[in-house]
Chains A and B, each alone.
Chain A
Amino acid sequence: MIRLQEVAKTYRTRTGEQVHALAETTLEIGENEFVTLVGPSGCGKSTLLKLVAGLVPVTRGHIRVREQPVTGPFPDVGFVFQQPVLLPWRTVMDNVLFSVEMLGLDPRQYRKPAGDLLELTGLGGFETKYPRELSGGMQQRVAICRALLPDPGLLLMDEPFGALDAMTREEMSLELLRIWEERRKTILFVTHSIPEAILLADRVMVMSPRPGRVARVLTVDLPRPRTMDLEFDPRFKAYSDEIRGLIFSRRKERP
């Protein structure tokens, strides 16, 4: 579904310095695949998401989504960020409808599917509440509903659970998997958490910084549906050790 061909991104800072956010990267992501990107800060994870969404132009190379070259933003994308960034003046329902409104669709026709999504994420009955009346986890669920409502083929998630406490985080990961089982889509998921990356993914892309690049791609061969018990599985530990090794060995290379 997504194909990156020798894609590179270089930023120029105000002082004129060149920052290599992403070095030549070639990769392919299949339809309905769940791919996680894991790595330390500054390894180009978020840049990669923005490039795929067409929010920033590539410096070199080509990106194709469903064989179409990406030249700018395209509507088949849902975005979830680390912060829920809801609109505080809108109710939960109207926040979910925000995505279809911005897409230029008629929000009245989406009230029913929006209600279904809220029901699916355990927010049934909260339609008329305001964001400030919800916990951080619930707000992030609303943000996920907002991204899912136009039923995009591609969901881009930039550390969506990074601001949540550990318990809510586990709960949300499992819930995301449950939603994904019900409504299959291609998901690109950025995270700092190695266990989270393994638990969710079909494939984990381990990234390394300076310049940002994909150091290794691991296929997670673990049965679905997955639960937290998976953490006690020896294979889980093996994957985790491998990723940790990749990230930390690189750290030691530098003085």
Chain B
Amino acid sequence: MSGVRRLLGETLVPAATLVLALLAWEAATWAFRIPRFIMPPPSAILGEGWEWRYRFIEHTWVTLYETLGGFALSMVVGVPLAVLIVYSPRLRGAIYPLIVLTQSVPKIAIAPVLLLVLGFGEIPKMVVAFLVAFFPVVVDTATGLGATPPELLDLSRSYRASALKTFLKVRLPMALPFIFAGAKVAITLSVIGAVVGEFVGSDKGLGYVILSSTSYWKTEVAFSAMILLSLMAIALFAAVSLVERLVCPWLATDEG
């Protein structure tokens, strides 16, 4: 009985709220005769989106590819960078200000320059996504590597274990939950970065679709692309969470 009630509370109530909101939206666009190019009703968004389904597959794929590329770069660069920062105070002094500097420049401002330097195609979008996404990876990984209880480090030292062994068997696994926290932020930021890159200059991708369709007053298509983007971000976030659960099964019961 309580299971049924929980199901009601956790799925049915939000779902019903969403349906009601969509119905209200639909009704409002008809009742107030809002032009479709300003605010299309949900039915038109769905209809037009369905019309575009084959073209959307390609654009979604491009954006997904750029996002995953940027995310992979931010992990491959971010985690080792954090390790360097934690293990070498001198490198910390050298690198940290630079990292903060890259964060202080608005990414949307770097994007045109990057595209100018790196040219057209997916690579510059990946680089923009990487620039947006790698900072939380570095910060969270560094925090995680510093979160090992000092007693465990004393213990490893008293057993005369090498620094590498202590890193692999103690510090890195201890940092994993933090690294995944950074990865979850990074994956959603990568989507934003890829779209920002596409806004600046592209002929493919969901960001490009939003930009081009709005300039042709095809607002429904832009809305469809937005929905696809958020679905993609949700799916990617869920995928990272799933990997986290597989890699860190000992955290599973802490969450639920």
The residues of A with any CB-CB pair to B shorter than 8 Å are 50, 53-55, 72-75, 77, 79, 81, 83, 85, 87-89, 98-99, 101-104, 130, 132
Contact = CB atoms under 8 A, between A and B. Distances in A.
A224 to B, nearest CB: 29
Nearest to A84: B151
B156 A102 contact: yes
Contacts of B159: 73, 75, 99, 102-103
A83 B151 CA distance: 8
Contacts of B152: 85, 87
A102 B154 contact: no
A83 B150 CA distance: 11
Contacts of B155: 79, 81, 85, 99, 102
Given A81-B151, A83-B151, A89 B158 contact: no
B151 A85 contact: yes
Contacts of B248: 89
B11 interface: no
B250 interface: yes
Interface of B: 149, 151-152, 154-161, 165-166, 169-170, 173-174, 176, 248-251, 253-254
Contact of B154 (A79, A89, A99, A103): A79
Contact of A79 (B158, B174, B251): B158
Contacts of A130: 250
Contacts of B154: 50, 53, 55, 79, 81
A147 to B, nearest CB: 9
A104 B170 CA distance: 15
Contacts of A99: 155, 159
Given A73-B158, A102-B155, A102-B165, A132 B250 contact: yes
